[in-house]
Amino acid sequence: MVQDAERNAERWARDVRTIRVIGTGAMGRGIAQLAAAGGVTAELADVRPEAVVEAVEYVSGMFDKLVAKGRMDAADAAAAKARLRPVGEPLTPFGECDLVVEAVREDMDTKRELFAALEKAVPAGTVLATNTSSLPVTAIAAPLTDPSRLAGLHFFNPVPLMRLVEVIAGARTAGWIPDALAALVRRLGHEPVHAPDAPGFLVNHAGRGLVTETMQILSEGAAEPVDIDRIARDVLGLKMGPCELLDLTGLDVSHPVMESVWTGFYTEPRLRPSRVGRARMEAGLLGRKTGEGFYPYVDGVKREPAEAAVPGDAERRPVWIHAGDADRARARGRRWARCCRRPGSRWSGRTRRPAGRSCW
């Protein structure tokens, strides 16, 4: 049994040769790319056989692009491609397999059912990991005969570029596994951080301040998505605004995360998701993956509306105020205020200076 093994985390990570990635959507294909580039054979599996074919083509194309840009050696790319192994169904009989990384849809029942079936099919020493964004790792592992073999391994999108990876121990995870997964993450060139098994872990909890708040701003009609994104980029200095991020992640992923973080913190008001998010998700306005989200996408390229001119800019002529002018204007204002307060003054009670009366 995995929990009985006296294992050395560093040695385990160094010896990992094969991982199986189950669910080859946006995340699974990125995890497969990272593994294959890092010298690990990546078996790709999905309930939809066509998703596996698409993922292998996609990742191979990514390696070709890296070669074309001079960021990867052609021989290394060929070797990495050879380490992509499409296996089809998730339960296709296992050979040697050190780790299974689950990246299927964000739904507790789906993940639990998959791990229950996997537990019976994987070799005894195989470690199980979930890439869940927000579901409790402890709860995913709870129905397993041996919950100690499962931990959270939370990559971010796009996986090859986002170097941070959260490693999460569930309440029953064997003590050596989080360290071993962290060592594997380092071997693959990414940066692990141990995170608590709390709703949203670290990053998606902190991130509520950006995306959940954005959805509230949108539902109040206070600003358009494009304006929120521009402010986030230009003022906060973010590379990507929250609406662009939601389009990249997919609202079918992000909205359930907002809901599960909110319920996970016992319906904490400041984490409450917006009705607009659910409505948009149900309408299929998911983002890049459906060609339309907060922005339309044509051939995968975002179409952003032109920035509106600042109102009145064109008509107004620039005004130059000399420091002396400003002092004189302030003094005039003080004289006018005194005059308004003086009993019996013809200007008493007036709050605006009459037009044309500029000298006091």
Q: Which residues are catalytic?
A: 133, 154, 166, 204
Residue 160 near ligand NAD by CB under 6 A: no
With the C-alpha atoms ordered 82, 45, 190, 173, is the resulting torsion angle positive or negative?
Answer: negative
- CB neighbour class for 266 (10 Å; exposed up to 12, middle 13-18, buried from 19): exposed
Q: Is 27 a binder of ligand NAD (CB under 6 A)? A: yes
Q: What's the CA gap between 168 and 129, in Å, rounded?
A: 9
Cβ nearer to ligand NAD, comparing 7 with 205: 205
* Residue 105 sits in the site that holds ligand NAD (CB under 6 A): yes
According to the binding rule CB under 6 A, does residue 22 interact with ligand NAD? yes
Confirm or reject binding of residue 33 to ligand NAD (CB under 6 A). no
Both tokens assigned to 176: 């050596």
Of these, 51, 142, 210, 337, which contacts ligand NAD (CB under 6 A)?
A: 51
152 closest CA partner among 208, 202, 211 = 202
Where would I find the beta strands (DSSP E) of the chain?
A: 18-22, 41-45, 84-88, 99-102, 127-130, 150-154, 164-169, 191-195, 297-298, 301-302
Residues 6+ apart with CB under 8 A from 241: 225, 228, 229, 230, 231, 232, 233
CB of 137 to ligand NAD, least distance (A): 12
Q: Which of 185, 253 has the CB closer to ligand NAD?
A: 253
Task: Select the residue interacting with ligand NAD from 13, 20, 21, 25 (CB under 6 A).
Answer: 25
Query: Measured from the CB of residue 59, what is the shortest distance to ligand NAD in angstroms?
Result: 13
Closest approach of ligand NAD to the CB of residue 25, in Å: 2
Map residue 81 onto helix, strand or coil. helix
Q: According to the binding rule CB under 6 A, does residue 164 interact with ligand NAD?
A: no
Span of 36-44, 189-197, 216-224, 249-257 interacting with ligand NAD by CB under 6 A: 249-257
Binding residues among 118-147 for ligand NAD as defined by CB under 6 A: 131-133
Written as six digits, the tokens of 312 are 């009145």
- What residues line the site for ligand NAD (CB under 6 A)? 22-28, 46-48, 51, 90, 103-106, 110, 114, 131-133, 155-157, 249-250, 253
